[in-house]
Amino acid sequence: MKKSFCWVFAICLLAGSVSVFATDKNSTLTQKMLKPVIEQSCKSELKDSKVWKTAAFFMNSEQQSTTQKQICGCVSDHALNDVSVKDLALASVNEAAKNSLIKQAVVNSVKGCAQDALK
């Protein structure tokens, strides 16, 4: 009984170690998978923003579209820079964690990207 417990423990430890290293390599893959979702979330967040509505009032539709693409491109490129590998791994398997991570990442980066684009 004691030997089987040791084997189970060793296998679990090995599997845990492999998953940590695999998660680290796959974090960029997870970021690439989340990029379009973040961009879409950014567009929604931007449309609801009072600052965007005010700025958009002074732009024609082509300028609005170009600026929106610039802002949300910036957000999707930088939103996950400060997100831990653990949070990315959790987001890749848990829908609620993914939605929370995306919302927080967009909110944290949209302001800076909007300020840069609207200068």
Q: pLDDT, tens digit, for every residue of 21-44?
A: 344 445 577 778 778 888 888 888
Q: What is the mean pLDDT of the chain?
A: 75
pTM: 0.65
Q: Tokens 């040791």 map to which residue? A: 6
Q: Are the CB atoms for 74 and 35 separated by under 8 Å?
A: no
Amino acid at 37: V
Q: Provide mean pLDDT across the span 80-97.
A: 81
**DSSP character at residue 59:** S
Q: Which is more confidently placed, 47 or 11?
A: 47
Number of helices and strands in the chain (H, E): 5, 0
* Count of CA atoms in the C-beta half-sphere (13 A) of 20: 6
